[in-house]
Amino acid sequence: AMATVASNTMLRAALASRVAASWTKSVAPFASRAFSTERTYGGLTDEDRIFTNLYGKHDPFLKGAMKRGDWYRTKDLVLMGRDWIISEMKASGLRGRGGAGFPSGLKWSFMPKNTDPAKPSYLVVNADESEPGTCKDREIMRHDPHKLVEGCLIAGVGMGARAGYIYIRGEYVNERLALEKAVAEAYEAGLIGKNACGTGYDYDLYVHHGAGAYICGEETALIESLEGKTGKPRLKPPFPAGVGLYGCPTTVTNVETVAVAPTILRRGPEWFSSFGRPNNHGTKLFCISGHVNRPCTVEEEMSIPLRELIDRHCGGVIGGWDNLLAIIPGGSSVPLLPKPLCDDVLMDFDALREVQSGL
């Protein structure tokens, strides 16, 4: 999620010296590491896009999804087994797309392998997208819901989970309806449920509609809400991988993180890791709003320069780049970037962390 802040000449003059002084003092010593001159990033081609129905121009449901390659040889992926899925996800370099950027394959591997039958493992997908300026997961659930449903099966197998819960934001009514229809289609086609995809693996998937509480975006508060309690964060430890939903091993992960997993396994981790800088691999959905000429959500290569992202996909800042004051690069909870940084900073986890902000 990203929002631009532009201004008139008077406001710019009033704030320019303050912003420049603050940047020079606190950020400039670290900023050079956030820029890259080794190669250029960005300009993702259509054939490399994972979300091919991001703008809803095609049928979002099962028939259309299968034409776009979803559910293709999913049985073979499942039968490769848990260890193979985890190994491939680690090799891809995928980091969580919810903001923290923790390596996904490593996170999935934390789930215990030998679980007590009385304490099954669960996958929980955090679709409680409530951060102002953030709307990427909404586009996935609305226009490409089968990528998420298939991803839940793949991730569930990788974690040894037999059931998954998608906790969707209370205000996302239309998105919930689209997702529920996709889940029902998958059950009817035998893609999930008992003997999912004919693999002998039983996997159930449930859609849970939240009630609009912002705090439930925090993973332990979300788990509390799923259990029917007030959505209040738990103390850690214990962590959800040990004691999560109903006291059972649980992994909470982001919509986009799960939705890209089947494509990574089909195309191979080497394909995915060919995008972006080292340790910042893959493609990413960016939501661009605020004072730009064409606000949009777009899939691009990780490590694309921030200015190129705005100029290429949004037609630039309203009033021109020199009218820019600052950009909030990762939703309203991350520190804003003053214009001197926005000129050259790259859009990936490490580059933004080095300038004291986040993706």
Q: What is the CATH number of the domain that holds 282?
A: 3.10.20.600
CATH number, residue 75: 3.40.50.11540
| Rounded distance between C-alpha atoms, residue 248 and residue 225, angstroms | 15
With respect to residue 53, please indicate whether it lies within any of the assigned structural domains.
no
Q: Choose the final residue of a domain: 199, 234, 267.
A: 267
Distance CA 169, CA 142 (A): 13
What is the pLDDT confidence band of residue 3, given thresholds at 50, 70 and 90? low
SS3 358: coil
Q: Does residue 37 fall inside a structural domain?
A: yes
What is the layout of strands, in order, in the sheet containing 204-209? 204-209, 163-168, 122-127, 250-254
Task: Looking at the structure, tell me whether residues 122 and 232 fall in a common domain.
Answer: yes
Alpha-helical runs (H) found in 189-260? 219-226, 255-259
Range of the domain at 255: 58-267
Q: What is the pLDDT of residues 213-245, one digit of tens each?
A: 889 989 999 999 999 999 999 999 999 999 999
- pLDDT above 80: residue 19: no
- When pLDDT is averaged across residues 19-41 and rounded to a whole number, the result is 54
Give the model confidence (pLDDT) of 95-112 as tens digits. Answer: 999 878 899 999 999 999
Q: Is residue 49 part of a domain?
A: no
For residue 51, being part of any structural domain is answered with no
pTM of the full structure: 0.88
d(CA 52, CA 33): 33
Residue 28 DSSP symbol:
H
Tell me, yes or no, whether 261 lies in a domain. yes
Identify whether 330 is part of a domain: yes
Does any domain span residue 130?
yes
- Residue 212 binned pLDDT confidence (cut-offs 50, 70, 90): confident
Q: What are phi and psi of 95, to 5 degrees?
A: -115, 150
244 part of a folded domain: yes
Query: Could you tell me if residue 267 is left (phi over 0), alpha (psi between -120 and 50 degrees) or otherwise beta?
Result: alpha
